[in-house]
Amino acid sequence: MDTKEFQKRSLVSIFFSYFKPHKNLFMLDMSCAFLIAVIDLSFPAITRYSLYELLPINAYKTFITIMVIMLIAYTLRAFFYYIITYYGHSFGVLVEADIRSDLFQHMQELSYGYFDKNRTGQLMSRLTADLFDITELAHHGPEDVFISTLTIIGSLSILVTIQWKLTLVIALILPIFLLVVWYRRSDNLFI
């Protein structure tokens, strides 16, 4: 894609265009993230059920069966984290390679005058540091946002069944908390 086509597109669409060739790895990563969030959300609900329903009626056999199932679920969770770590980073490396290729092509198209006005070492240092940050965002960004969103929504859903008044208080405080975090984070971006 040439420079003029890039300039017409938004930064977000350019960023996500690098995901398309590697969408299978991305979907594998996001599927494992979903399963991890489901396992994490199920643990408190199952623990609550076991403590308040099974143990008071001495249903030890059912309790042990559920605990074995949870042990298997947490073993699967570790496997899903392995997939996220290995294949997610592979996805990040492939995205980085594609971006590097496009950057190299763009650098080759620049005039000699551009390199006379700008220090090559500074350009390379900036490209390498920025590209590392972009690669980390490509791998961890969507996955972390997805897991966090699913966990918050799932936690609020479970909490509603336990104590709806407390859930309402938390749901009202949550946007304020997110605004404070966003505001503090945006201050740190420009320091």
pLDDT tens-place string over residues 123-168:
888 888 888 888 888 888 888 888 889 989 998 998 898 899 999 9
Side-chain-facing half-sphere of 169: CA atoms under 13 Å: 3
Residue 4 maps to a domain: no
CATH number at residue 77: 1.20.1560.10
DSSP annotation string for 108-164: HHS-HHHHHHS-HHHHHHHHHHHHHHHHHHHHHHHHHHHHHHHHHHHHHHHHHHH-H
Whether the predicted pLDDT of 112 surpasses 90:
no
Give how many domains the chain has, as a whole number.
1
What is this structure's pTM? 0.77
Residue 77 maps to a domain: yes
Whether the predicted pLDDT of 13 surpasses 90:
no
Residue 12 maps to a domain: no
Confidence of residue 1 (pLDDT cuts 50, 70, 90): low
Whether the predicted pLDDT of 8 surpasses 80:
no
Strand, coil or helix: what is 88? helix
**Is there a contact between 4 and 52 (Cβ–Cβ < 8 Å)?**
no
Domain that holds residue 33: 19-163
Residue 83 maps to a domain: yes
pLDDT digits (tens, 9 = 90+) for 53-102: 888 898 899 999 999 999 999 999 999 999 998 998 889 889 988 988 88
pLDDT of residue 2: 60
Q: What is the separation, in whole angstroms, between the first and last Cα of the chain?
A: 33
pLDDT of residue 32: 93
Diameter of the chain measured on Cα atoms: 82
Length of the chain counted residue by residue:
191
Instruction: Read off the DSSP letter of residue 9.
Output: S
CB atoms within 10 A of CB 7: 8
Residue 44 maps to a domain: yes
pLDDT digits (tens, 9 = 90+) for 178-190: 888 888 876 655 5
**Is there a contact between 86 and 6 (Cβ–Cβ < 8 Å)?**
no
Residue 66 corresponds to which tokens in the numbers above? 């559920």
pLDDT of residue 188: 59
Residue 26 corresponds to which tokens in the numbers above? 């991305």
